[in-house]
């Protein structure tokens, strides 16, 4: 019976082993096919999913002359301001100016009734004539008494009295002459003339008003606008540098509007103040402007830019291209194959929206001004269209476009 069982299970075990071998081979084949399929798919993905080029704004490094400025907040100050007041009392009979009129020194502005002062002058002249007649009579008596004393007819005391009387009359005549001069002066003061050349302000009195020499309010204000001055401040650390440059010649000062966008006038630095404001740590400087077009007005706030020097043949790029990292400043340089390379640069000067490169970059090389946050070394880029000559892009984002525009304006300023 035992042999019979062996005979019955032998074929069954052989069939099971064959089935297991077949199943194992099938699993291995499926796994191999899966691996081959994944490998092929990866290769295809690598071939078809190449990262696209990053659109960026670019600028071609230029060689240009760059002016070096120091900027400060300034206040326009009239070169001369006069509050015209009356020096005599009286009624105004004439007003010979129009509001806002440009007047010259000596022009008649206001006439005060001169008749009272004319009468005083005539009275003083009359008194002088009277005293001169008395002096003439006294001198005649003095000459007669002198002869009588010499002949012994008249006492010496009488001669001395006559001489004293003639001397008193001479003093009276000098006093009369002083009264005449004073009356003439008062008569002159009744004619109020322009003490300086300048622009007349708004009229503060009308014809018929009675004014007094003791009045505190002026009759009119005259302001000299040509030339005009601007007083501005700079940090005390810059004053020594300014003083050294002043020894080499005159320094130009540009006055800009409050938004620092519009150039109003160009003048010359006149002087530095003799002390530093301890509360602000700044020093005051004064510049003079011709102001022929009346672009500057007293008490106007302006931004003053003092030009210290001009750096010749500097390598210039927009400040937007400068990046900062652990190892210092760098830029993304676009290579001819439209890939980018990280280049360390040394910035010598930041002037408005321009950076002067001391080393690390040469004129003609193209740098990225916008879109750097999407780049790394070796990334491919696509400069945006609409660029000016040399690969400069005017449409590469707001920051890049503004930097380039301001850079162009600075170049013009430097050229001038």
Task: Report the first-to-last Cα separation within the chain, whole angstroms.
Answer: 123
CB distance 234 to 73 below 8 Å: no
∠ CA 409-265-309, rounded to 5°:
60
Report pLDDT for 394: 38
Give the residue-averaged pLDDT of 110-117: 96
The pLDDT-based confidence of 33 (bands split at 50, 70, 90) is low
Report pLDDT for 50: 67
Asked if the model's pLDDT at residue 270 lies above 80, the reply is yes
CA 102 to chain CA mean position, Å? 26
Pairing type for strands 54-60 and 381-383 reads parallel
Report pLDDT for 195: 95
Structure-block tokens of residue 198:
């300048």
Q: Which domains does the chain have, with CATH numbers?
A: 60-75+225-415 (2.40.30.170), 86-113+191-217 (2.40.50.100), 115-189 (1.10.287)
Report pLDDT for 352: 75
The pLDDT-based confidence of 388 (bands split at 50, 70, 90) is very low
Asked if the model's pLDDT at residue 30 lies above 80, the reply is no
Percent of the chain with pLDDT over 90: 62
Q: Which DSSP helix (H) or strand (E) runs through 13? A: helix 2-48
Paired residues of 356 in beta bridges: 316, 349
Report pLDDT for 94: 95
Q: Share the mean pLDDT of the chain.
A: 83
Report pLDDT for 31: 61
Asked if the model's pLDDT at residue 406 lies above 50, the reply is no
Taking CA atoms, 49 is separated from 36, 38, 196, 344, 378, in Å, by: 20, 16, 81, 31, 17
């Amino acid at each position: 019976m035992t042999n019979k069982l062996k005979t019955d299970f032998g074929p069954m075990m052989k069939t099971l082993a064959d089935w297991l071998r077949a199943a194992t081979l099938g699993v291995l084949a499926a796994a191999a096919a899966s691996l081959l399929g994944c490998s092929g798919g990866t290769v295809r993905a690598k071939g078809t999913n190449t990262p696209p080029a990053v659109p960026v704004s670019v600028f071609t490094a230029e060689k240009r002359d760059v002016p070096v400025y120091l900027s400060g907040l300034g206040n326009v100050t009239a070169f001369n301001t006069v509050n015209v007041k009356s020096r005599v009392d009286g009624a105004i009979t004439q007003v010979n100016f129009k509001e806002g009129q440009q007047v010259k020194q000596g022009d008649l502005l206001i006439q005060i009734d001169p008749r009272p002062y004319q009468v005083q002058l005539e009275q003083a002249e009359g008194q002088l004539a009277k005293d001169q007649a008395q002096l003439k009579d006294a001198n005649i008596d003095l000459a007669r008494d002198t002869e009588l004393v010499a002949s012994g007819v008249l006492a010496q005391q009488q001669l001395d009295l006559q001489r004293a009387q003639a001397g008193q009359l001479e003093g009276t005549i000098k006093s009369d002459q002083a009264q005449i001069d004073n009356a003439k002066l008062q008569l002159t003061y009744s004619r109020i003339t322009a003490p300086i050349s300048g622009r007349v302000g708004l009229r503060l009195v009308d014809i018929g008003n009675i004014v007094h020499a003791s009045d505190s309010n002026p009759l009119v204000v005259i302001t000299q606008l040509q030339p005009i001055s601007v007083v501005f401040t700079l940090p005390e650390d810059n004053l020594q540098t300014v003083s050294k440059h002043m020894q080499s010649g005159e320094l130009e000062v540009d006055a800009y509007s409050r938004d620092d966008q519009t150039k109003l006038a160009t003048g010359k630095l006149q002087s530095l103040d003799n002390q530093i404001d301890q509360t602000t740590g700044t020093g005051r400087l004064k510049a003079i402007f011709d102001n022929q077009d009346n672009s500057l007005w007293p008490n106007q706030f302006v931004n003053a830019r003092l030009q210290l020097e001009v750096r010749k043949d500097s390598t210039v790029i927009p400040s937007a291209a400068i990046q900062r990292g652990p190892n210092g400043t760098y830029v993304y340089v676009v290579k001819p194959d439209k890939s980018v390379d990280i280049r360390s640069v040394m910035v010598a000067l930041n002037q408005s929206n321009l950076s002067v490169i001391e080393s690390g970059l040469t004129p003609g090389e193209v740098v990225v001004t916008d879109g750097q946050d999407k780049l790394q070394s070796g990334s491919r880029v696509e400069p945006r269209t609409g660029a000016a000559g040399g690969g400069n892009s005017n449409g590469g984002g707001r920051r890049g476009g503004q930097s380039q525009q301001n850079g162009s304006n600075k170049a013009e300023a430097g050229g001038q």
